[in-house]
Structure 1
């Protein structure tokens, strides 16, 4: 059964705001409530059935919002990958993990809630030289994660605990590949906009993206499908591209960095004005990561509209990123194929 009243967290950012707006366009849904501690993203505006409530999911107020509105489905997107946007790593962890704990506690006592959809990330798998060609949902990480990946692991653990206590609630966890597109904020978005893109000399990792609109579609489908599907699902375009191909496709110049990987590359990126690159991000730019998406297709009935290359090209066009050098000359000089 399609839910009547849906609460969406994290609507100050594109993904939450756009998801709330898309849900409000579904005539089967009576009311969509977007929640965040700062102003709603413009993507939320423009629909009579969508409303914004300024509230902190770490506060007891969130339980009152859920109960008073008769919420029967919750879409939790308020898990942030940016330490700088959160006010530092400690604040980021508190918001991600403690915020999720408080939200789950509110859902546990809300008897009308029958469906929970949680945004997670492929970063839970980490990145290492021991990784499989494709991670499936049943696989464990080959290396310990920190930062955003560790937050997501903790969030998923609390979600599993919640599901044991409330087995009557359908719980869907979506592990997204790196989001990219014209509007969504992500760590990699400014990286490919740099005229000189620092890369680790000797490494050419595989990249897998999910377009921002595909991410919204996955959340909306999980929240509205007639027969809710429990489980964890990888959400990504099925294809991959190499970092060298992405840099060349953007018309940028690679800046090979030699030396201790994390410290040298991290310092180079931060010197260029981008402070959100953590050791985990550096590890990703060393080894990359790819996820198998067949389970989402089979059980959730979801496939992305955009391939990795199409998502990346739309990001370039939408952000107005123009080549530093003519692409043909750049590809020829670097020996990179399309």
Structure 2
């Protein structure tokens, strides 16, 4: 019997594309794609099973199919994707708890890969230049996706202690950007005018969508365990990024995030959320040594190249590409 991989969260773009990619991999015999709603995109030759990870049915699927690898991509980035913050937290945290309970009962399971986020590190003026996997957040996220990710990782660590026979790999991914891939950060950079905190210029470290897929494939096929930072080389500041995107900026007081959010929504500008303010002020950077030396993965695009590919105008993109070739 060969590799049988179960992928959660396949109705969303990263989960669906990952399932499709793995279904074409010669090292994998079967891919089972799981979500509560059918995807609108192709899953390749992956077998779709309609199941909510909060429901015990997912445990039956793992047992009946003798799944040896679970790839958990069912953590939702924004409340908009889940239909509200309450639903988002329930899917992210409660869903993960139920999935881990099913995994704990699965004798066939040998490997668990969980997509987490760099948001667990938070953003504060006391942050190190680059976070290694062993460092803790100087200011723990108190809400939203960052808090969900921290709770998910805590439950995953508990699972790893209870099932030491299962190799657990947690990928802390930088902000993923891709054409047509909507996130809180992409909404911000597509605003016609960007509110930027006065006196600050946060550092951005990104990961292109295609490289995110590559990292998930590498982690699925790898035998490494533990936590690994996944991000592209290099950093951009918020103001540098706005210049590349060709967007005018308007300075705002960092303490006025809630007011700015209300005003922008009132005049029909979607994309700024008060919860972003610390990130826009300070940003974050991650050390990716372990990604290269242990996971054996190297992103194809740098942070700047990823941003240019997604947010720059066609003329600016061509200009940057020409400059890269000359360099």
Task: Provide the TM-score with structure 2 as the length reference.
Answer: 0.91
Q: 1:68 aligns with which of 64, 67, 82?
A: 64
Map 1:1-338 to 2 at 5 A: 4-42=3-41, 44-45=42-43, 47-48=44-45, 50-145=46-141, 146-225=143-222, 228-258=223-253, 260-271=255-266, 272-274=268-270, 277-279=273-275, 281-316=276-311
Q: Give the Cα separation in 2 of the matches to 1:129 and 1:269.
A: 26
| 1:334 aligned residue | none
Gaps of 5+ in 2: 320-327
Cα distance in 1 between the residues matched to 2:277 and 2:6:
35
Alpha carbons of structure 1 residues 41 and 134: separation in structure 2 relative to 1, 3 Å: farther
Distance 1:78 1:269 in 2: 30
SS in 1 for 2:294: helix
Q: Post-superposition shift, 1:155?
A: 0.5
CA distance 1:300–1:41, shift in 2 (3 Å): farther
Distance across 2 between alignment mates of 1:54 and 1:106: 16
Q: 1:41 to 1:175 in 2, by over 3 A?
A: farther
Query: Does the CA contact (< 8 Å) of 1:200 and 1:265 recur in 2?
Result: no
Displacement after TM superposition at 1:277 (Å): 2.4
Check the 8 A contact 1:14/1:41 in 2, yes or no: no
2: distance between equivalents of 1:101 and 1:51? 24
CA distance 1:276–1:251, change in 2 (3 Å)? closer
Checking the alignment, whether the CA contact within 8 Å between 2:232 and 2:301 is kept in structure 1 is yes
> Do the aligned partners of 2:258 and 2:274 also contact (CA within 8 Å) in 1?
no
RMSD: 2.0
